[in-house]
Structure 1
Amino acid sequence: MEEEVLQNLEPKADVAAQQCALARLEQLKNSEVGWQFCMSTLTSGMTQHNHLRFFCFQVVEHYIKNHYNSDNLADQQRVREFLSCWIQLQCTQLGRQEATFLRNKAAQVFALVFVRDYPLHWADFFGDLIKTLSFGPHAIDIYIRVLKAIDSEVADRDIIRTPQEAERNAAIKNAMRGSCVEKLVESWYHILKTYETSNPELINQCLEVIGAYVAWIDIALVANDRFIELLLSLLHRTESREAATDCLHDIVSKGMEPLDKLQLIETLFPVLQNSGILKPLQDDETDFSCKLSRLVNGIGLNLIDAYNKLSKSGSTEQVALLQNAVEQKVPVMIEFLNNDYDDVSAAVLEFAKEYIHVLKAKVMQTEEQLAYAHTLLVTVVHKMKYDESYRFEQEGEDEATFQEFRKQLKVLFDNLAGVNKELVIDYVSKFTTNTLSEWRTASFQDVEIAIYLLYLMGEAIPASGGNHFTGDQTKVSAMQTMMHVLVTCDVSHHPHPAVTLQYVETVVRYEKFFNTEPEHIPYVLTAFLDQRGVRNSSPLIRSRCAYLFSRFVKCLRQVFEINSTLIQPYIKEVLGPLEDLLILIPPENGSSLISEDDQLYLYEAAAVMIVSGAFGAQQKGMLMSNLLIPVMDKFKTVMSQLLLEVDEQKQELLAQCLCHAMAVTSRASKAFTNHQTMKSCCCVPVFVEATKVFLRCLQIPTQSQVLQSGVRQFLHRMVVCLEEELLPYIPQASEGLLKGSDIRSIQEYVPLIVQIIAKFKKEVIPFLQQVFMPIVNAIFSVLSLPVEENDEQGKREKQLLQRNYFQFISAIVTNNISEVLNAQDSQFLEQVMMSIIRGAVDFPDPVAQKTCFSILRKLVELWGGKEQPDGFTQFIYKNIVPACFMAPLKSTFDLSDAQTSLALAESAMCLKAVLQRRKQMFQAKVGEKIKMHILYFITFFHKSCHLGDDVEKYSRATQATDDNMVHVQCLLNK
């Protein structure tokens, strides 16, 4: 029957038969005899198909993991006979050696049997396994794979173990140390010696096993003369040297006491040096060089770790021995760090970093250590340089790898500055000034790194207050010299993009240099605006320069004011070349030299120069008009085109162009400050005119959502910058922005009206009295629309609109313009008030609940006295007070949530406001029971809500004995 199953799994069998066979094979895993059938199949040659044999191994594996019982002698004997027979079949000429993945699976089965039987039920497991080595290379291959699988089961620290597994593994390793480890080591030596020249694959696998086991066996068994001699021999064989190097790395990385580790490395390292291994290799030996570099890194890190441990508890002599041992390895580390191949260099970065940390910890470095630091600095700078093959315009994976490598080198550079900043300042100053003085004859790599080192100085040696040109005179003098050379040597004209980018980055980083030498500002501004900067042939440089130009100009506001006579005449010359870059290009006319995002930076920079320049107010207004009137003219032209356009795709492009016009105008308004306002600069008329022009687009029937979004963003800026001049345009804007009445447009409109209320307060009362009802009705209408159960985005938008609605009401009461509410129809006002009550109680949104309770509290404070709207007193007792209890009693009211706790505190504050405003009348209106509940509730939250002492004293004097208090107690317990 089972043979037939296997035959039906052959590729030639039909699909139905294969499916039945697969189902039957799955049953084998849980069959009492299925594992026996599979073992028989594997040793009888019943099938030669690898996927079927793999399945049979899986069945055996499943049995051993879940059902194997070492006390069942019969089953135990069957398993051992299977393992022995399978090995013999692999090693005979009649047998067929399994594929690699099948041998690995078989090794896992061996390991599973081992951890269940050893040492109690199969004490001589390794003895029996070693006996099979006489069968030849195939047996040795299986032996090594089994050892690797056992290591994975017993000793691999990357695998998470249960406490029981950890205890079991510890017992297994102890038993192995006491009985068979020496036999294993002898077998390894025999394999290495026998197949040293004939079978490199076996050699490499054996070396991998030695490296794995050396972590938990006696190091003396491997770190001895005969093994080291053999490993050295393998290091000179091309096929095995990489594996031998990894094995040596594992040996030196074994956990040991500091002095034992010192003895091990100091014995091994001279042998490696004398053998000629630790020397520069040929270009075609990069992989081996990486392995050697990793070995040197391991040696250095282990010595430094031992040094750090002994520094805390060892004697002075012992610490000195370890320090000397570390120092002796530094030249070798530097040699590998300086290798032409970055992969080789990267392998010793950790050693270099840790050694520099050792130097940083010292109060005073020796001359030898300073010499090492200097050599490391020179090496780091050399390795930071770009290679000729670096693709600056089409960066790929190799370029990304180098940039990551450069970041690691930067860490070394920063740490070297921490070791001895004078050393770094002196080296960088000389290298940078010399290179920049002769940049025309130097390679682009040297020029770029010279500027980059100057750039790095800002982080490597931080300045107090962020000004690198005050304080330590040594550094200040060097920085001023380097910056002076940078901006006067014409290196900005260098043709290579890497140099150009580094130049502009560095100039902007050290903008405070121009406080001391402002005469260089015009030159730098020109560099930003001509072919070196925003007109460069490289889009990357153009984009970066646009952003940095804006930053540079904003940083120099004060310099423009202080040095007005020097810079003022030049500002007009700067604004002139900007004109063609500030032109809005309609989509049908192609693209501008710079992107729309980059234009935003340029408009802001131009506006900053106008506002910060030492011009008269009228002249500033004229320059700002010159900047923005072309934008408005282009806006009108494009708007006319949009009205006539019928193609939907072109309509969208034209609408985006209109939004961009509004965006650049908004960005220009960011130039104004509290000191230099729009009004003081006589720029109000041009922005008012822009408001008039832009609001017209709200009447366009197409692309309304896109245009509304642009208008909203523009108006947000105008609310900040304009004063009462904006008020006449708010009604028109509101009418246009509410035209669509969809959830998104209303949701985004409410923050704008809230901002207007906060800015103008009483001045917008007449307008709000008229639009309050339309706005609220529009919100109610949208909120009443059903949302599908699985529409998560729709639910989120609805929740945001609810929050915005409550923020709108809150803005009215918080800014003391409750006249807006008083002017509404009483029936409509009651509808609004009840919506706030529902928001406080029924909406499972703690942010909205907190806002609602805040609104109710403010209304109580405003209207809770004698002069109040008709019916509000009854509203307090009928709705507000119950809401303060009903909300926390809801099942959705989660006190473990921070926002919910804030909502609860706000409800308590609301009750406090009722008590303070109504007092005796409040006590008379509410029943004795409710009064007790309220006082108990307020007292409980006294500390978190900062309630007044009078409430606390009053509540303490009142005895709350009513049985109904249990409801409040449940809430408090919750």
Structure 2
Amino acid sequence: MDDRALQALAATAEGQSQGRALEYFEHLKQSNDGWKLCAQAFTSGRYQSSDHVRFFCLQVIEHFLKNRFKVSVLQDHQDVRNFILTCLQIQGENQTQEKTFLKNKIAQIASLAFVVDYPQQWPSFFTDLLQTLNLGHLAIDMYLRICLAIDGEVVDREIVHTEQEMVRNNFIKDAIREQCVTQLTESWYQIMTGYQESHPEVTCMCMEVVGKYISWVEIGLIANDKFVPLLLSFMKMPLLRESACDCIHEIISKGMEPVAKTKLVESFTSVLESTGVFSQSQDEDADFLAKLSKLVNGIGINLTGSWQKLVKAKEMENASMTLQALENKVPLMFRFLGDEDDDVSGAVTSFAQEYISVLKQIRPHAAKQRENIEGLLCHVINKMKYDESYNFEQEGEDEAMFQDYRKQMKTIFNNLAQLDGELVLVTVHGIITRTLVQWESMKLADVEIALSLLYTLGEALPASNGQHFTGDLNKATALQEMMRLMITSRVSCHGHSAVVLQFFETVVRYDKFFTCEPHHIPDVLMAFMDERGFRHSAAHVRSRAAYLFSRFIKSLRVHMQNYVEDVLKRMQELLILNTPDNGCHLLSNADQLFMYEIAGSLIVSSNLVIEKKQLYIKQILTPIVSKFEDMLTKLLVESDQKKQLAYAQGINNAMALASRASKGFSSQKTMQQYSCTPAFTDALKIFIQAVNVPVHRQLIQVGVRQYLHRMVVCLEEEILPFVPLVLENLLKQPDAKELHDFLPLMNQLIMKFKSAIAPFLQGVFMPLVGTIYQVLNSPSDALDPNAADDKKMLQRSYFLFLSTIVTNDVIDVLKNQEMQNLHNLLITVVQGAVEVPDPQSQKLCFLILRRLVEAWGGGEDGTGFVNFMYKSIIPACFMAPLKSTFDLRDGQSSLALGECAACLKSMLAKKGENFKTYLQAEYLPTLNLPPELSQEFCLAMESEIKIFRNYLKHFFSKAKS
């Protein structure tokens, strides 16, 4: 061994030395005898004090076993065997405690050798292992670790195995069952009885082994008069009881026939109950209680599974016995579900869920079952309450864990509502009634849970489109009473943010209530507006209130007519822009977006006269524009980089707010209808000045584009003169990402105005396309990983732009280009179809070509297109799918091939027999296709498009094979 290289394995070694060690590591892994050198070094004792060197040796041996052992010579197999047994011998004789990571690695090496050599080449594997057990607890420790490692290789269902490995594993398990399983189970019994007091950790590991192997060994070898009393005795020993719990859980979870499974579970449960194991007090160790809870959970799930199988098999007598056994375990489930420790409670939730699923299949319910349903509901509601230690101000890991636990309880609550909606409704109604009439004198947890349950009813009780207040009269009446009480009780004035937030959440969930009783709207509006909502002392409450208020207003816009001006007046303070100079006001930039959207929506949907609407819109936009100009001026003279960024972000935010203020308008409610066009176009004139800013150009252009997108929706032709101004600045310093981000705006304009945009588009088309060519053909920075992606996205956007033109009645924009420009453009589309290894771009290109064929392929039209069709488009339809980069199995490529097929059929539809003759006589022979296959291809083209697509896929698959 190269000691100098090995010394560099230490964590303190320098980089160069570590590099040498890695090279030596690779050399030993690839060397035929490297593993032998490592095996000798490991067992020689020479490196006994160097754990990192010994682990290094084991990794080399592991590499050999995983990659070359199966095909190695017999002597290598014998040498590996000797190495493993020597390791066990050394461990026992020297009584030297290895580090855990070394022991686990040795066990893994033994398991890798085992799966290759057992049973043919090493039939005495387990006999050899068992002979080492008399060497003491350290040798036993290694034996048990090897058993666990074998389980990982052969049995563990969480590890994905190939079909070949599964066949091998079944063969190994059969051999163990036939040859030595009795000796193995006997060894486990001897270990558990012999070391329970002197080395309890060994006994615990042995129980883990039993739990792993029980899934495939004969149940009678473990569930017998010898093992069971031993395991039960361990349940009373503090150092062993948790492992005993897990072991019993694995035993009762073994796959068995349902009647036998029920008997097994009942026998264990009966003895455990008789010994008082389940009667532990809540002061008991929480970890042990959690294990017990898990065991009870396993008991319930296994009994449920047996019942389901028996019902399916129509064995009703046995099913009835199993159901009774299950019912008898419900008090156990309640005991652990109600435990004050959430880990203990959470461990039994699956039992609760499964029990509910059983009750859903049984109608009507017996008195005891109804009592169980009520008890389960009571436990769930109680466990959903916040603990006094919950830190609302600074939620950490404990709080996050409780929220996850609470979600589990809510799931059970929802399932109980599906099982007995009336009971849940009556229960929650009672809690709401008792709580809200005296909320001021009640604990926070009780008030919060009352509102939370009312909120949760919205998802627990089915309702079409949130219509909880129509249909079922009992439900509608109860919900109305609870909502009315929640609002009139003024519980929204509670001092704790959790209650206030739950109030707002509930109000928005049941917004349809205010359609039934609109006279409650003013109270809720005030709650949002005052210190309970937007002016609350906690920022997270203000933020959530802003979002919820926007939903509330949208839903109840029709009922807001009487409150519009008052709401707008109270919102004035909330609409003050946050700037680098004046800091942040009550709401953050993100929260203000909702405020501006609400303001715009209220104004547009109100019954106010147009003059007032104009005035209010102007009052909203004027401060934005003023602050925008101020920040833009300061940005242009600012030299400090941090302040530059702050001003750029402020500029972007100002445009975002103006965009959101326009949300009240739409293609149906245009600005023109309300004479609000000047206010928004005047703002646009100012905003466009920012596209020339030399710093943070992209950030600011995002805001300009966002505003333009909104204006395309809300304005008519008034928007068109502004686009060339943006485009002109864009073309001065072309950038792939900016062009890619700009093209969707052009597509939006084309889709909205269609042929009406043709004159405008004619003027900007070639400058824009020329700039795109220039950027795509410019050299990329090899060190910039994003440059290639930006170009790929721009290329795809370019093809999408062209496809938008040919599908929206402005195809003449292409036809009216100079002949050479049109030809160059068509060449880029053909190249995109054939050369670009991006199936989405290829699909777009074939779509463009098909549309052009449909428009221009019928005759000579002066563009020379028909000639181009024969010389370029037809070859593209064949060359693209034949490319090695065109994966016919890929979903996106299949879509591209579908467009290719449609393109071919369009050419056939336009040129008919002439097209078929050209294919058969001139083009297809260049592909060395026999005449009969060419004829078959042309016949296939005449079939329906779906049939031809499938044919084309088969045709190219065969051609590429």
TM bucket (normalised to shorter chain) is 0.7 to 0.9
Residue of structure 1 equivalent to 2:904: 908
Q: Residue 840 of structure 1 contacts residue 853 of structure 1 at CA under 8 Å; is this kept in 2?
A: yes
How well do the aligned residues superpose, as a CA RMSD in angstroms? Answer: 4.4
Q: In the TM superposition, what is the alpha-carbon distance from 1:356 to its structure 2 partner?
A: 0.9
Residue of structure 1 equivalent to 2:523: 523
Residue of structure 1 equivalent to 2:711: 718
- Percent of aligned pairs with the same amino acid: 43
Residue of structure 2 equivalent to 1:745: 738
Q: Residue 464 of structure 1 contacts residue 471 of structure 1 at CA under 8 Å; is this kept in 2?
A: no
Superposed CA deviations along residues 833-888 of structure 1, whole A, max 9, x for unmatched, are 555565556555555555555555655666678995xx32xx02331332221212
Secondary structure of the corresponding residue to residue 197 of structure 2:
coil
Letter in 1 for 2:753: F
Residue of structure 2 equivalent to 1:965: none
Secondary structure of the corresponding residue to residue 277 of structure 2:
coil
Residue of structure 1 equivalent to 2:651: 658
Residue of structure 2 equivalent to 1:884: 873
Q: In the TM superposition, what is the alpha-carbon distance from 1:941 to its structure 2 partner?
A: 3.2
Aligned pair 1:679/2:679, yes or no?
A: no
Residue of structure 1 equivalent to 2:930: none
Q: Which moved more, 1:436-445 or 1:816-825?
A: 816-825
Q: Which moved more, 1:616-625 or 1:42-51?
A: 42-51
Query: Relative to structure 1, is the Cα distance of residues 489 and 681 closer, same or farther in structure 2, using a 3 angstrom cutoff?
Result: farther
Secondary structure of the corresponding residue to residue 452 of structure 2:
helix
Alpha-carbon distance in 1 for matches of 2:171, 2:935: 67
Superposed CA deviations along residues 337-367 of structure 1, whole A, max 9, x for unmatched, are 1111111111111111111111112232211
Secondary structure of the corresponding residue to residue 439 of structure 2:
coil
How many residues end up aligned between the 2 structures?
A: 937
Q: Residue 35 of structure 1 contacts residue 59 of structure 1 at CA under 8 Å; is this kept in 2?
A: no
Residue of structure 2 equivalent to 1:691: 684
Aligned pair 1:554/2:547, yes or no?
A: no
Q: In the TM superposition, what is the alpha-carbon distance from 1:232 to its structure 2 partner?
A: 2.7
Alpha-carbon distance in 2 for matches of 1:99, 1:302: 39
Aligned pair 1:471/2:471, yes or no?
A: yes
Q: In the TM superposition, what is the alpha-carbon distance from 1:171 to its structure 2 partner?
A: 5.4
Residue of structure 2 equivalent to 1:451: 451
Letter in 1 for 2:578: I
Q: In the TM superposition, what is the alpha-carbon distance from 1:427 to its structure 2 partner?
A: 0.9
Kindly report which structure 2 residues correspond to 1:851-866, keeping only aligned pairs within 5 A, or say none: 851=844, 855=848
Kindly report which structure 2 residues correspond to 1:211-290, keeping only aligned pairs within 5 A, or say none: 211-283=211-283, 285-290=285-290
Aligned pair 1:756/2:749, yes or no?
A: yes
Secondary structure of the corresponding residue to residue 202 of structure 2:
helix
Query: Relative to structure 1, is the Cα distance of residues 559 and 915 closer, same or farther in structure 2, using a 3 angstrom cutoff?
Result: farther
Query: Relative to structure 1, is the Cα distance of residues 970 and 595 closer, same or farther in structure 2, using a 3 angstrom cutoff?
Result: closer
Structure 2 residue runs of 5 or longer lacking an equivalent are: 926-933, 949-953
Kindly report which structure 2 residues correspond to 1:395-414, keeping only aligned pairs within 5 A, or say none: 395-414=395-414
Alpha-carbon distance in 1 for matches of 2:739, 2:417: 56
Q: Residue 437 of structure 1 contacts residue 489 of structure 1 at CA under 8 Å; is this kept in 2?
A: yes
Alpha-carbon distance in 2 for matches of 1:864, 1:56: 73
Q: Residue 858 of structure 2 contacts residue 911 of structure 2 at CA under 8 Å; is this kept in 1?
A: no
Q: In the TM superposition, what is the alpha-carbon distance from 1:7 to its structure 2 partner?
A: 12
Residue of structure 1 equivalent to 2:315: 315
Q: In the TM superposition, what is the alpha-carbon distance from 1:377 to its structure 2 partner?
A: 1.0
Residue of structure 2 equivalent to 1:579: 572
Alpha-carbon distance in 2 for matches of 1:866, 1:174: 76
Q: Residue 662 of structure 1 contacts residue 711 of structure 1 at CA under 8 Å; is this kept in 2?
A: yes
Residue of structure 1 equivalent to 2:588: 595
**TM norm structure 1:** 0.85
Letter in 2 for 1:248: I
Aligned pair 1:613/2:611, yes or no?
A: no
Alpha-carbon distance in 1 for matches of 2:52, 2:918: 82
Alpha-carbon distance in 2 for matches of 1:167, 1:824: 68
Letter in 1 for 2:320: A
Q: Residue 847 of structure 1 contacts residue 903 of structure 1 at CA under 8 Å; is this kept in 2?
A: no
Superposed CA deviations along residues 362-409 of structure 1, whole A, max 9, x for unmatched, are 232211111111111111111112222223333222222222222222
Q: Residue 842 of structure 1 contacts residue 887 of structure 1 at CA under 8 Å; is this kept in 2?
A: no
Residue of structure 2 equivalent to 1:952: none
Alpha-carbon distance in 1 for matches of 2:466, 2:486: 20
Kindly report which structure 2 residues correspond to 1:533-548, keeping only aligned pairs within 5 A, or say none: 533-548=533-548
Alpha-carbon distance in 1 for matches of 2:670, 2:275: 78
Query: Relative to structure 1, is the Cα distance of residues 913 and 697 closer, same or farther in structure 2, using a 3 angstrom cutoff?
Result: farther
Query: Relative to structure 1, is the Cα distance of residues 587 and 101 closer, same or farther in structure 2, using a 3 angstrom cutoff?
Result: closer
Residue of structure 1 equivalent to 2:441: 441
Alpha-carbon distance in 1 for matches of 2:774, 2:74: 78
Superposed CA deviations along residues 269-317 of structure 1, whole A, max 9, x for unmatched, are 1211121110243446001101111111111111111111111125221
Query: Relative to structure 1, is the Cα distance of residues 474 and 23 closer, same or farther in structure 2, using a 3 angstrom cutoff?
Result: same
Q: In the TM superposition, what is the alpha-carbon distance from 1:810 to its structure 2 partner?
A: 4.9
Query: Relative to structure 1, is the Cα distance of residues 111 and 500 closer, same or farther in structure 2, using a 3 angstrom cutoff?
Result: same
* Structure exhibiting the larger radius of gyration computed from Cα positions: 1
Alpha-carbon distance in 2 for matches of 1:121, 1:970: 49
Query: Relative to structure 1, is the Cα distance of residues 403 and 941 closer, same or farther in structure 2, using a 3 angstrom cutoff?
Result: farther
- Residue 628 of structure 1, aligned match among 582, 598, 621: 621
Secondary structure of the corresponding residue to residue 585 of structure 2:
coil
Q: In the TM superposition, what is the alpha-carbon distance from 1:608 to its structure 2 partner?
A: 1.3
Q: Residue 840 of structure 1 contacts residue 883 of structure 1 at CA under 8 Å; is this kept in 2?
A: no
Letter in 2 for 1:651: Q
Alpha-carbon distance in 1 for matches of 2:638, 2:835: 48
Secondary structure of the corresponding residue to residue 468 of structure 1:
coil
Q: In the TM superposition, what is the alpha-carbon distance from 1:702 to its structure 2 partner?
A: 5.1
Q: Residue 8 of structure 1 contacts residue 21 of structure 1 at CA under 8 Å; is this kept in 2?
A: no
Q: Which moved more, 1:414-423 or 1:19-28?
A: 19-28
Query: Relative to structure 1, is the Cα distance of residues 939 and 711 closer, same or farther in structure 2, using a 3 angstrom cutoff?
Result: farther
Superposed CA deviations along residues 647-681 of structure 1, whole A, max 9, x for unmatched, are 44433332332222222121121112455432333
Query: Relative to structure 1, is the Cα distance of residues 810 and 254 closer, same or farther in structure 2, using a 3 angstrom cutoff?
Result: closer
Aligned pair 1:300/2:310, yes or no?
A: no
Alpha-carbon distance in 2 for matches of 1:27, 1:670: 68
Q: Residue 580 of structure 2 contacts residue 646 of structure 2 at CA under 8 Å; is this kept in 1?
A: yes
Residue of structure 1 equivalent to 2:415: 415
Letter in 1 for 2:643: K
Alpha-carbon distance in 1 for matches of 2:709, 2:75: 85
Aligned pair 1:785/2:781, yes or no?
A: no
Q: In the TM superposition, what is the alpha-carbon distance from 1:623 to its structure 2 partner?
A: 2.0
Alpha-carbon distance in 2 for matches of 1:305, 1:651: 66
Alpha-carbon distance in 2 for matches of 1:18, 1:127: 43
Q: Which moved more, 1:516-525 or 1:728-737?
A: 728-737
Alpha-carbon distance in 1 for matches of 2:23, 2:729: 69
Query: Relative to structure 1, is the Cα distance of residues 941 and 16 closer, same or farther in structure 2, using a 3 angstrom cutoff?
Result: closer
Superposed CA deviations along residues 227-253 of structure 1, whole A, max 9, x for unmatched, are 333333222221111122122212212
Q: In the TM superposition, what is the alpha-carbon distance from 1:638 to its structure 2 partner?
A: 2.7
Q: Residue 338 of structure 2 contacts residue 383 of structure 2 at CA under 8 Å; is this kept in 1?
A: yes
Query: Relative to structure 1, is the Cα distance of residues 731 and 28 closer, same or farther in structure 2, using a 3 angstrom cutoff?
Result: closer
Residue of structure 2 equivalent to 1:951: none
Residue of structure 1 equivalent to 2:513: 513
Alpha-carbon distance in 2 for matches of 1:17, 1:535: 60
Alpha-carbon distance in 2 for matches of 1:322, 1:103: 45
Structure 1 residue runs of 5 or longer lacking an equivalent are: 949-967
Kindly report which structure 2 residues correspond to 1:84-103, keeping only aligned pairs within 5 A, or say none: 90-91=91-92, 96-103=96-103
- Residue 634 of structure 2, aligned match among 633, 641, 648: 641
Query: Relative to structure 1, is the Cα distance of residues 850 and 40 closer, same or farther in structure 2, using a 3 angstrom cutoff?
Result: closer
Query: Relative to structure 1, is the Cα distance of residues 421 and 88 closer, same or farther in structure 2, using a 3 angstrom cutoff?
Result: same
Kindly report which structure 2 residues correspond to 1:833-872, keeping only aligned pairs within 5 A, or say none: 835=828, 839=832, 843=836, 847-848=840-841, 851=844, 855=848, 871-872=862-863
Letter in 2 for 1:393: E
Residue of structure 2 equivalent to 1:670: 663
Query: Relative to structure 1, is the Cα distance of residues 825 and 438 closer, same or farther in structure 2, using a 3 angstrom cutoff?
Result: same
Query: Relative to structure 1, is the Cα distance of residues 227 and 664 closer, same or farther in structure 2, using a 3 angstrom cutoff?
Result: same
Residue of structure 2 equivalent to 1:378: 378
